[in-house]
Amino acid sequence: MHPQEICDKYVKENNAISRVLDAGYGKIYLLYIKQLCDMEAMRQDIMRPILQYWHYLKKPLSVQELYTQVLCVEECKLLKCEEEIEPQLFSGIAILLLESGEGILINIRKNASSSPSAPELNYSVWGAKDSFVENIEINLSLLRYRMKDPRLRTEMILVGKRTQTAVLVSYLSDVANDKYVDLVRKRLKTIDIDGILEAGHLQWFLKDKKFGLFPQVGLEQRVDLACGAMLEGKVLILCEGSPVAIIAPKLLAEFFHADDDESETVYFSVFSKILRFLCVLISVTITPLYIALVAFHAEALPTAYTMVLASGRAGVPVTVVTEIILMEILVEVLRECLMRIPKNIGSAIGIVGGIVVGQATVEAGIVSPLVLVIVALSLMTSFVVPDYSLSGTVRIVKFAMIFLTAFFGMLGLTAGLFLLFGAAISDTSLHTPYFAPYAPFSLRDALKSIFTNKYVSVCRPSFLHPKNKVRQKKKTS
């Protein structure tokens, strides 16, 4: 097809811009989309050099001369076939065409994104405050800033038939196991969907079990933690247009790790991990346990406690199960409200919902004061987990335990916990046991999951099967 026909086609159908430069011996066609290209670079680095070259030398321009001597751009390559034009044009690449049918792809893509800012998902007291942004080129520069190893590998994969979203797969070639890289690459390339708009949409395609209860990949905003995951032997996935990176594999024990654990003393770090695990256990079991003791097994409590519970529930018109479910639903509604409404009025809604509504329900006799305390404790302990991805699972499991206990008492709670641990043990992330290093059990890795200080843990986790198993070599002084 003649270059003029190609330009007319995209100008008419896709609102592209076509510019024709007459150099005296023939026409040079420029095709681009204004909203995606840097117009200053178009004028200074493409149009002006071409016209000046003809003005001073008065000789025909070949595509090789344009490519090697004239164009003042950092990245360009020769056009191989006409089929390359469409995907490159809509990704912000300018197309230069000669009447001979030859052409050049010129990267003058406009980088429209915000500057790195403090993370909201992975806040840390001691850690870095910069995070990923929506532009994948800036994210890659942030990775290179921290990871200066030449063995850092990056692969770009286009996902989505309509959006053609750029997905960057990054890993350390001498550390990451090849099976993880191949599995991620295979799953990304087999995605057949109209469009991918953010990293969260990719989670479904990277899961081993599509309807698994637990999150099987990690979502990360902070660049330093993403680089730390690659140092452990994991694969990092970045999606164009999303300020969140995906880390795979991600196992259950790692959701309880916080970056501040590396900065604190070993003793406080171990204490914090035990506290987080206990808080999750309390969040899941405290309200079902209250139902089991009050509604089914009141005889298990001392007589004094039984009298206190009875006096607290005096005048409450509903059963204990209904009371717990009503308060838990109220808490979930308040949580959703605080997530959706503007931040300027979020604190006011929290105060009104948490104090005024809670106090009003107790004074109206709808719920007992002890239930209000228990539900509030369950809510607070659910926020202790450093990784927010696990909080949704904790909320779902809590309601499942409540209904099991409401029907079967303590037997239902016990059976629910066994089913929960069974689901966690049988789950996998990129074919890696989700409950590792505790099932299958490895004493060395289990101790390292508790003592995460890099000085104490000189080797990388063996369940990740890294190529390079040692992260540091201790020197005796």
pLDDT (mean) for 400-414 = 93
Q: Is residue 286 part of a domain?
A: yes
The mean pLDDT of the chain is 84
Q: Per the structure block, which two tokens stand in for 283?
A: 């969040």
The pLDDT value recorded for residue 50 is 83
Residue 287 pLDDT grade (very low, low, confident, very high; cuts 50, 70, 90): very high
Kindly state the percentage of the chain with pLDDT values over 70: 90
Domain shared by 276 and 353, yes or no: yes
Of 42-46, 155-159, 184-188, 261-265, give the lowest mean pLDDT range: 261-265
Q: At residue 116, does pLDDT exceed 70?
A: no
Q: Is residue 457 part of a domain?
A: no
What confidence tens digit (pLDDT) does each residue in 302-361 have?
A: 777 777 777 777 777 888 888 889 888 888 888 887 777 766 666 666 666 666 677 777
**Are 303 and 351 contacting, i.e. CB atoms less than 8 angstroms apart?**
no
Domain shared by 309 and 245, yes or no: no
Domain span at residue 274 reads 261-433
Q: Which of 417, 433, 449 is the last residue of a domain?
A: 433
d(CA 103, CA 346): 55
pLDDT (mean) for 271-298 = 90
Domain shared by 265 and 246, yes or no: no
The pLDDT value recorded for residue 408 is 92
Q: Is residue 446 part of a domain?
A: no
Q: Which amino acid is at 118?
A: A
Q: Please tell me the pTM assigned to this model.
A: 0.80
d(CA 26, CA 38): 26
What is the number of structural domains in the chain? 3
Domain shared by 318 and 401, yes or no: yes
pLDDT (mean) for 145-169 = 88
The pLDDT value recorded for residue 21 is 85
What confidence tens digit (pLDDT) does each residue in 247-267 have?
A: 999 999 888 888 777 777 778
**Are 65 and 100 contacting, i.e. CB atoms less than 8 angstroms apart?**
no
Q: Is residue 448 part of a domain?
A: no
Domain shared by 279 and 215, yes or no: no
The pLDDT value recorded for residue 87 is 84
Q: Is residue 78 part of a domain?
A: yes
pLDDT (mean) for 223-231 = 89
What confidence tens digit (pLDDT) does each residue in 315-328 have?
A: 778 888 888 898 88
pLDDT (mean) for 138-161 = 88
Of 91-100, 122-131, 133-142, 424-433, give the lowest mean pLDDT range: 122-131
Q: Which of 198, 226, 250 is the last residue of a domain?
A: 250
Residue 420 pLDDT grade (very low, low, confident, very high; cuts 50, 70, 90): very high
Q: Which of 250, 281, 298 is the last residue of a domain?
A: 250
Tell me the C-alpha to C-alpha distance, in Å, between residue 241 and each of 111, 167, 190: 11, 10, 21
Domain shared by 179 and 143, yes or no: yes
- In what order do the strands lie in the sheet containing 235-239? 152-159, 165-172, 235-239, 245-248, 218-220
Q: What are phi and psi of 423, to 5 degrees?
A: -65, -40
Domain shared by 245 and 265, yes or no: no
The pLDDT value recorded for residue 187 is 93
Q: Is residue 469 part of a domain?
A: no
Domain shared by 270 and 406, yes or no: yes
Q: At residue 476, does pLDDT exceed 60?
A: no
Q: Is residue 214 part of a domain?
A: yes
Domain shared by 241 and 316, yes or no: no
Domain shared by 42 and 146, yes or no: no
Q: At residue 58, does pLDDT exceed 70?
A: no
Domain shared by 267 and 202, yes or no: no
Q: Is residue 477 part of a domain?
A: no
pLDDT (mean) for 379-392 = 84
The pLDDT value recorded for residue 283 is 92
Domain shared by 153 and 278, yes or no: no
What confidence tens digit (pLDDT) does each residue in 289-298 have?
A: 999 988 888 7
CA atoms within 13 A on the CB side of 424: 20
Residue 23 pLDDT grade (very low, low, confident, very high; cuts 50, 70, 90): low
